[in-house]
Amino acid sequence: MEVEEVACVAYLYARVVRKRKKNRKYWVHPLLSDRSTKGLFNLFYNDLRKYEDKFFNYLRMSVSSFDELMEQLQDDLTGQQTNMRECISPLEKLVVTLRYLASGCSFTELHHEYRLGISTISGFVTQVCEAIWNRLKDECMPQPSTQMWLEIANKFETFANFPNCIGAVDGKHIRVIKPTDTGSLYYNYKHYFSIVLIGICDANYSFVSIDVGAYGKSSDSSIFKESMFYKKMMNNSLNIPNPKPISTLNSEPMPYVIVGDEAFGLSENIM
């Protein structure tokens, strides 16, 4: 390539790069610079705490539960202060994230209400969710023990008159924006894009185990059979209690089962 051609290519490339760059009118937008005085968190949060019912309605969590969660996440959510910009407090990060999860509103809506950048919200929502999972997964969804299964079975028999039941399983499509370059992988039979959550719950509607993130096009049955829970169940490593009779009238031992719809099929521990 001649020197003149190299110069022309370099010039054209520089022009393309310049066009791609957007001129920033503000380092911090004036709307966001007033966050400390006019943002929703500073105007609303302290008053909201005074009314337990309104607090629960807004964040889907009681004040005491919120405080307990905040205490556990404090260290994980504390950022480093700099001379350039004031760090967002762990408390505000948690409030905004819980509001996002409770309402399903967009980052743009939170951006205008709390006067935070959209990319900033996107970043710390992910941070908060990861911190919640890492801190609480072993406490909220531990590996079930035999005693835990027996307690769940006792509650199913008490509340639903269903003996030897240790859980209920079903799938839920969670709507998403189509990921790029994925074709129809996330397009489900309900005609929208989604990922799938397979959940197993106890008699109190609390999760015992989850598998989340499968393609929307996949069926509940195929996702369940690929899950770690199912593989452990097939390997008899879930500590499921030994079969026992379901009544005094029937002395034949019956296995403990998880109930689901016809999509999951029948096996020794699936009904």
**Res. 7 pLDDT band, cuts 50 70 90:** low
* Closest to 239 measured CA to CA, from 170, 162, 152, 135: 152
pLDDT of residue 10: 60
Q: What is residue 2's predicted lDDT score, i.e. its pLDDT?
A: 57
Distance separating alpha carbons of residues 169 and 210, to the nearest angstrom: 9
Residue 33 has what pLDDT? 78
| pLDDT tens, residue by residue, 84-133 | 667 889 999 999 999 999 998 999 999 999 999 999 999 999 999 999 99
Q: For residue 27, give the 3-state DSSP assignment.
A: coil
In angstroms, the CA 197 to CA 171 distance is 6
Average pLDDT of 159-178? 94
Share of the chain above pLDDT 90, in %: 70
Q: How far is CA 176 from the centre of its chain?
A: 13
Tokens of 195: 């990922």
CB distance 228 to 211 below 8 Å: yes
Q: What pairing do the DSSP bridges indicate for beta strands 165-175 and 257-259?
A: parallel
Q: Which has the closest alpha carbon to 148: 170, 168, 169, 166? A: 166
Residue 22 has pLDDT above 80, yes or no: no
Q: Are 72 and 134 in contact (CB under 8 A)?
A: no
